[in-house]
Amino acid sequence: MELRDNLSTEEQEEIMNLSPAYLQQREEWKQEGIQEGIQRGSLEGQLSLITSLLEGRFGPLDAELSGLVGQIAQLPISERTGLLLSLANLSRSELLERFREN
């Protein structure tokens, strides 16, 4: 115990860096960070795509249509895909009504 107390901060860091358990934990943290980044990027991409498709169909989005972007992203993928493919055949009011029912 006394030996550890006499180590400098630099020496303690070197020991931690060499510890297999520490290295494994550090790698796990790194992988978790990568996964979180991928998930965030995927969600941002989905939101951007949905926004673009709505803007393409209805023009600049007002608050009401902007509010649908997150709701559409939360739909199961098959339902979301069907909805986005049918946008050309939906009026603004039909789209809004669909989400008022949910």
In total, how many domains does the chain have? 1
pLDDT given for residue 62 in this prediction: 95
pLDDT at residue 83 is higher than 80: yes
pLDDT at residue 1 is higher than 60: no
Six-digit token pair at 85? 């493919």
**Residue 57 belongs to a domain:** yes
**Residue 47 belongs to a domain:** yes
**Residue 65 belongs to a domain:** yes
**Residue 93 belongs to a domain:** yes
pTM to 2 decimals?
0.66
**Residue 1 belongs to a domain:** no
Q: 46, exposed or middle or buried, with CB in 10 Å at 0-12, 13-18, 19+?
A: middle
Q: 72, exposed or middle or buried, with CB in 10 Å at 0-12, 13-18, 19+?
A: buried
**Residue 34 belongs to a domain:** yes
Range of the domain at 39: 8-101
Six-digit token pair at 24? 């494994």
**Residue 3 belongs to a domain:** no
